Structure 1
Amino acid sequence: MKLPWKRTLRILPVILMAVGLGAAPAAARPATSDHTARTQAGWNDFSCKPSAAHPRPVVLVHGTFGNSVDNWLGLAPYLVQRGYCVYSLDYGQLPGVPFFHGLGPIEDSARQLEVYVDRVLEATGAAETDIVGHSQGGMMPRQYLKFHGGAAKVHTLVGLAPDNHGTTMGGLTELVRQFPGAEDAVDEHTPGLADQMAGSDFLRRLNEGGDTVPGVRYTVIATRYDQVVTPYTSQFLAGPDVRNVLLQDLCPADVSEHLAIGLADRIAFHEAANALDPDRATPTTCASALS
């Protein structure tokens, strides 16, 4: 898509922010969203039946500019190998933008998640699912839980570097607001980004009256080296049944930033697995990188 120069200059801050908010590990190559490849690995296999040990299917929710494959090339096989039925969806698609999703209005994305969870529950026969999300994917499900009946269908929500209270992008979101027309350009062309800016109307509604809903367990796993969701403490939730985890408290040597915590960090993966099955949890340490 070609943009006129004046319009390109006007939304330059938006483009810079978009690069930072990306969660695609392979932005330089097309997503390998082939259904057969995933089902052969036991991932997105709708014939999978949850075991007695892991009775709830796990739905993985990608981040901004992510997709149902690239965001989960690390975590999906990790959970499949541990006996989970694992599924992932694409959401927040924009017309004419392939592979890079999570850009549409988050309200609409939450409804896509609602439909997908229903599909997973119907296929597996489970009464509830667990959700693990990265970045926007750790926050967006809260819209589903709070406003679209998800609390009755979700047992646990695990967020890897979720932007639960928005991001300042190290002050970049405030900079965007200083450029005439730039904030309007974000709203018009990438509403999913606008919704994630600290102080947005969407986040005000989402967090009004409390961060959590009854009946759901929440775990947030954050890294102090996050340069996308800033400050990193804005990721944490308050309320009953909440566990906020700083990765460096588990392994001081872990230097994962925003992308790595969701894409490749097996220490974060180990802690996410603990959150999904606390009865069988084992301590997460630096050695968990080898587990």
Structure 2
Amino acid sequence: MLPWKRVVRPLAALLLAAAALAVPTATGAHAAGAPSSGWNDYSCKPSADHPRPVVLVHGTFGNSVDNWLGLAPYLTHRDYCVFSLDYGQLDGVPFFHGLGPIEESAQQLDAFVDKVLAATGATKADIVGHSQGGMMPRHYLKFLGGADEVNALVGIAPSNHGTTLAGLTDLLPYFPGVGDLLTEATPALAQQVAGSDFLTRLNAGGDTVPGVRYTVIATRYDQVVTPYRSQYLSGPNVRNVLLQDLCPVDLSEHVAIGLIDRIAFHEVANALDPARARPTTCASAFS
């Protein structure tokens, strides 16, 4: 059995049990490498109302299509130029990405944003990411000069300060060698454990960098990035949003908030265009 499978089976079952049921099977268009319908259109030119392209960054085990089958059409319908990338690929692991070293994934994001800016003629982009995809761009912003190229970062259930996996990571010291195998086979998983060297460096000196607006959208029912308040950021130009403060009956967990939750999508749109923001309520699910 391949090493990554030995890790994914015992740990991913705990990490993303819901994802196995909720994430759609990779589409034929993605498998064939064809462009996504409605987004990744490099002829798109941002409008005066929405002058910045939006770059969507998938989460761990995600990809550039399946993660965004809900949000990408939602934004393109509202006349945004929308782009998405694959990152963190491992050899021999198709469709499921976001597994490689996060520092290298941030370099992939840097190159992709440069490509999008060159194609659209925009001077800055906005980034929207789910789970790891809401945290990884912060490395790009802080260490790779991304603050000069990005206006706003919107994190949907981001792993900003890592996760305890509801306390399951506390068991790792009792199983010698598991942590080393995790780091070797799927580095991004190990780097998202609360207290990892990567996260310690990322968050040292403050969560934010000047010149970027930050929004975090969380759900109290998150079972992956736990506790959910660990997703929040501190610092200037930060807005932390809890879905249940906007709509108490919203039951979305970690996967649904990024895939299908239109209340979360409404908050994304507000974060991208705060001058035209409209109050988000339970009724926003139908707007």
Amino acid of the structure 2 residue aligned with 1:88: S
Q: Which residue pairs with 1:246 in the alignment?
A: 242
Q: Alpha carbons of 1:36 and 1:181: their partners in 2 closer, same or farther (altered >3 Å)?
A: closer
Q: Alpha carbons of 1:24 and 1:87: their partners in 2 closer, same or farther (altered >3 Å)?
A: farther
Please give the secondary structure, in 2, of the residue aligned with 1:210: coil
1:109 paired to 2:108: no
Question: 1:220 deviation in Å?
Answer: 0.1
Separation (CA, whole Å) in 1 of partners of 2:150 and 2:21: 26
Question: 1:13 deviation in Å?
Answer: 4.0
1:260 paired to 2:256: yes
Unaligned stretches of 5+ residues in structure 1 = none
RMSD in angstroms over aligned alpha carbons?
Answer: 2.0
Please give the secondary structure, in 2, of the residue aligned with 1:146: helix
Q: Which residue pairs with 2:38 in the alignment?
A: 42
Q: Alpha carbons of 1:20 and 1:106: their partners in 2 closer, same or farther (altered >3 Å)?
A: farther
Q: How does 1:193-208 map to 2 (within 5 A)?
A: 193-208=189-204
Question: 1:3 deviation in Å?
Answer: 4.6
1:131 paired to 2:134: no
8 Å Cα contact 1:63-1:136 kept in structure 2: yes
8 Å Cα contact 2:52-2:125 kept in structure 1: yes
Unaligned stretches of 5+ residues in structure 2 = none
Separation (CA, whole Å) in 2 of partners of 1:31 and 1:174: 40
Q: Alpha carbons of 1:152 and 1:23: their partners in 2 closer, same or farther (altered >3 Å)?
A: farther
Q: Which residue pairs with 1:219 in the alignment?
A: 215
Q: Which residue pairs with 2:161 in the alignment?
A: 165
Q: Which residue pairs with 1:19 in the alignment?
A: 16
8 Å Cα contact 2:87-2:105 kept in structure 1: yes
Query: Percent of pairs identical after alignment?
Result: 70
Separation (CA, whole Å) in 2 of partners of 1:284 and 1:11: 37
Q: Which residue pairs with 1:144 in the alignment?
A: 140
Question: 1:175 deviation in Å?
Answer: 1.6
8 Å Cα contact 1:145-1:213 kept in structure 2: yes
8 Å Cα contact 1:114-1:144 kept in structure 2: yes
Question: 1:27 deviation in Å?
Answer: 5.7
Separation (CA, whole Å) in 1 of partners of 2:191 and 2:180: 12
Q: How does 1:46-85 map to 2 (within 5 A)?
A: 46-85=42-81
Aligned pairs, number: 285
Question: 1:174 deviation in Å?
Answer: 1.5
2:149 pairs, out of 150, 153, 161, with 153
1:91 paired to 2:90: no
